[in-house]
Structure 1
Amino acid sequence: MIFTLYGDYIHHYGGEIWIGSLIRLMEEFGHNAQAIRAAISRMSKQGWVEARKEGNKSYYYLTEIGKKRMDEAAQRIFKLQAQPWDGKWRMLIYSIPEEKRAIRDELRKELIWSGFGSLTFSCYISPNPLEQQVQDLIKRYQVEEYVDFFISSYEGPHQGQDVVARCWNLEEINSKYQSFIELYSKKYIVDRNKIEKGDMQDGDCFVERTKLIHEYRKFLFVDPGLPEVLLPKDWLGDHAAALFRDYYKVLAEPASRFFESVYQEGNDAARSELYNVFEHPYMVQQQGRDE
């Protein structure tokens, strides 16, 4: 959920937020301060965010890796249509030793998130132009000596759809899209009517928009974003994407208004408390001694 807030809100406000404001926003979803501090601490240890101190206040901002992940996610979430396929397959083959098992597992997760599928053990393929993402992963995990990367064409004996079926369970992914559509089609109609009548608070719009993003972004972990020519005729991904965009637009303005109020209020409060600290008699007295 914190990743969702960074990607959909904080990333567009300089990528930094006071921990007090983050706690206030997450309280809208029923999370307590202790859990939020623990989560942001884990994100920091994993290299997604870093902390900056201003007085006794902590501000968390996205690292370069975090910014890149957010940009990649946004491009996939808000893409209007799939790119035409060039007919080529990107293939990464690796042989990472057991003593580097943790790196091997992380690499697999990153490949799957990027849209690669497992053709065979330690051989991952994608029809999408992911050359830069692959080079970034190789560099990030320092596995140059253990991997080979190819861009090639498939010469049979099967069809491209047969290769896809071996790498991804499109029927299961389609079923997830069906569930998403059934749930959010109803919510979209109800909330649109409420907003038009002025019966929905900004805070409620913020909660619903964040939940919408949070649920939809889960498809980034299962849907490889295949070209249309490789998808089945009854594919529901485009329908789900259109529903997501329509519902998002309805919630966008009041949700952003609520976020901005909390974000600005938190910054003002942090600055005010910092000012008061330096105006404290002890600080004034200490400053006089220093002078």
Structure 2
Amino acid sequence: MRGMTPEELIRSILAGTELRSASFIVTVYGDVVVPRGGVLWTGTLIEICDRVGISESLVRTAVSRLVAAKRLCGERAGRRSYYRLDASAGQEFQRAAALLYAPDPPARGWQILHAPDLPEDQARHLRLGQMAPGVFIRPDRGQPVPPGALVFPAGDPQPLAEVARYWNLSALQARYRDMLARFSPVETADPLPDETALVIRLLLVETYRHVLLRDPLLPAQALPGDWQGGAARALFDRLYARLTPGAERHIAARFEGVDGPLPAQTALTQARLVGMA
């Protein structure tokens, strides 16, 4: 909001949250580094993490754990260390990127899945609604079928609004409301320094990524009348576009890859902006 310093604005966004080092680092890579060649100098990573209260020791610990978990892989050039997303983590963020930086794909009816051996955590990861033990439902967007599952295509159930009870939409609604409360003041803030624009954009992506990856993206007819997912999507798109010019200037000025400074823009970063317009 107007009159708030950049530091105060960042603190207000972070207030009451538990920002996880490893998750934020993955966001830095997915949002900034991957579309610019994929490699980042450790010193740059330490610098940007410090702006959100993640110390150098926490960064190094998180990087070590991400390497051990095969989510990052490292290389050296002279005395400097550089890291890139491992292929598996890169694929995971690409799935998230397809949701973050593009319109929601329309559903083509529904899938009913019979998957009695599907673990509960994997069902949540796949954003499935549980109809009965071993029986799940989700909007049909051509998703891959889990191993060992049988899938049956279906049209729109009647009444469609009854489908929402198979998901915990109240928890998602609370997270969307929290996101709107934290980031709406950015729209009326005074012009931001370039570094602050990048930090807030990263926090925006981190916050939205975690709730969006849990949202089954049900058709509007199946959602509560006061559903906040659409408002959160609109705010994300507006803020991302507003913050990007300053963020890109800071990236070009301060972010270093193995071949030198990262570019402000690439074809992929431009494609993301077009997809969100």
The normalised TM-score by structure 1 is 0.72
Find out whether 1:207 has 2:199 as its counterpart. yes
Find out whether 1:126 has 2:138 as its counterpart. yes
In the TM superposition, residue 58 of structure 1 has moved relative to its aligned partner by 2.3
Would the alpha carbon gap of residues 228 and 41 (structure 1) be closer, same or farther in structure 2, given more than 3 Å must change? same
**Unmatched tracts of structure 2, length 5 or more:** 1-23, 262-277
Distance in 2 (alpha carbons) for counterparts of 1:226 and 1:79: 16
What percentage of residue pairs aligned between the two structures are identical?
24
Distance in 2 (alpha carbons) for counterparts of 1:238 and 1:207: 24
Report Cα offsets for 1:90-125 as digits up to 9, x if no partner.
4150427xxxxxxx4xxx434423322333344433
Distance in 2 (alpha carbons) for counterparts of 1:242 and 1:15: 28
Within the candidate set 60, 65, 84, 1:61 is matched to 84
Report Cα offsets for 1:151-194 as digits up to 9, x if no partner.
332797x73432330x212233223322322332222211xxx2
Q: What SS does structure 2 have at the residue aligned with 1:9? A: helix
| Number of the residue aligned with 1:93 | 115
Matched pairs, number: 238
| Bigger Rg, structure 1 or 2 | 1
In the TM superposition, residue 229 of structure 1 has moved relative to its aligned partner by 3.0
Report Cα offsets for 1:192-237 as digits up to 9, x if no partner.
xx22xxxx21111111111111111121243111222322232221
The residue correspondences of 1:186-197 to structure 2 (distance < 5 A) are 186-190=185-189, 194-195=190-191
Report Cα offsets for 1:232-283 as digits up to 9, x if no partner.
23222111111111111111111122123221388659xxxxxxxxxxxxxx
Q: What SS does structure 1 have at the residue aligned with 2:182? A: helix
The residue correspondences of 1:16-31 to structure 2 (distance < 5 A) are 16-31=39-54
Answer yes or no: is the 8 Å Cα contact 1:82–1:227 preserved in 2: no
| Number of the residue aligned with 2:269 | none
Distance in 2 (alpha carbons) for counterparts of 1:23 and 1:16: 14
Distance in 2 (alpha carbons) for counterparts of 1:94 and 1:45: 32
| Number of the residue aligned with 1:235 | 227
Within the candidate set 117, 127, 147, 2:129 is matched to 117
Q: Which has the higher helix share?
A: 1
Report Cα offsets for 1:21-65 as digits up to 9, x if no partner.
211221111211211111112222222221223344322112222
| Number of the residue aligned with 1:78 | 101
In the TM superposition, residue 89 of structure 1 has moved relative to its aligned partner by 1.4
The residue correspondences of 1:153-232 to structure 2 (distance < 5 A) are 153=154, 159-165=159-165, 167-190=166-189, 194-195=190-191, 200-232=192-224
Distance in 2 (alpha carbons) for counterparts of 1:77 and 1:63: 20
| Number of the residue aligned with 2:19 | none
Answer yes or no: is the 8 Å Cα contact 1:18–1:267 preserved in 2: no
Answer yes or no: is the 8 Å Cα contact 1:90–1:128 preserved in 2: no
Distance in 1 (alpha carbons) for counterparts of 2:230 and 2:105: 9
The one-letter code of the counterpart of 1:8 is D
Distance in 2 (alpha carbons) for counterparts of 1:154 and 1:86: 8
Distance in 1 (alpha carbons) for counterparts of 2:128 and 2:249: 38
Q: Over the residues paired in the alignment, what is the CA RMSD in angstroms?
A: 2.6
Find out whether 1:49 has 2:49 as its counterpart. no
**Unmatched tracts of structure 1, length 5 or more:** 97-103, 139-146, 270-291
Answer yes or no: is the 8 Å Cα contact 1:90–1:150 preserved in 2: yes
The normalised TM-score by structure 2 is 0.75
Distance in 2 (alpha carbons) for counterparts of 1:47 and 1:125: 32
Would the alpha carbon gap of residues 9 and 234 (structure 1) be closer, same or farther in structure 2, given more than 3 Å must change? same
| Number of the residue aligned with 2:240 | 248
In the TM superposition, residue 149 of structure 1 has moved relative to its aligned partner by 2.7
